[in-house]
Homo-oligomer: A and B are copies of this chain.
């Protein structure tokens, strides 16, 4: 791969994504505001810079960002020292951050006005997916931008979807993750109801997995231990995908629903439930630990 890549944000997700690009033969330099994350990047043989100013130049062919929130993406791309003013028209901008659609569109519009290609390309699949390059990547942008970004995205992910125009990557992701938040609570309600009814949870799980009560949390990622090997619920609810991240995505989904006048009654209740769970100090636990809230005094599984 002949790309010269500037990668910004090498946290838990960004680090393995950048490593996969390095392995694929690209010339990649990385930056992060955290000295600790830069140190971890160097441990993986990634070339780091200490100041973002040293990262972006006319020679860069691809910028990839993996940042926590919309305000960070906006500052990095459009701020006083913004990337948008420093790259050439041959450079493609790929924002892998999960952020609000409005900000994605805003950055994309400025890029478009300057004749610079940009896609929003949030990912799902967690740290393990990032390491194994099996991420799902949902992409928003023009056909040309998508085609240009595709070979780069394929190095980091497995299933790459073109959802629509800029912002649609984040739109598709929050639709997916709102469903996930709801179905995780639904799976918890059904399994804990079975437990209180003294019905063997393994039997109810087996029935639901093969019947109309099935969902991704039931078939792949159950919220109670002893049902499927290798899940966070079998490992003291170490994430995986944290409750804090789910709370963030549910917040994005419901804010966005408000903006477009969409009805999300279960989505809003799921946000309330995760929001309280995080406030109670469970932000860093896997999001499947929400079964503890639903289970109440009938929930008796190990959790740290």
Contact = CB atoms under 8 A, between A and B. Distances in A.
A228 interface: no
A175 interface: yes
B204 A175 contact: yes
B216 A214 contact: yes
A53 interface: no
A24 interface: no
Interface string A174-211: 11111110110111011111101111100110111011
Nearest to A221: B212
A260 B210 CA distance: 26
A136 interface: yes
Contacts of A269: 265-266, 269
A265 B186 CA distance: 9
Contacts of A212: 124, 176-177, 180, 216, 220-221
B257 A207 contact: no
A159 interface: yes
Instruction: Say what secondary structure dominates the interface of chain A.
Output: helix
Interface string A209-229: 011111110101100000000
A303 B266 CA distance: 24
A253 B197 CA distance: 11
Interface string A112-124: 0000000000001
A182 to B, nearest CB: 4
Contact of A176 (B178, B179, B208, B266): B208
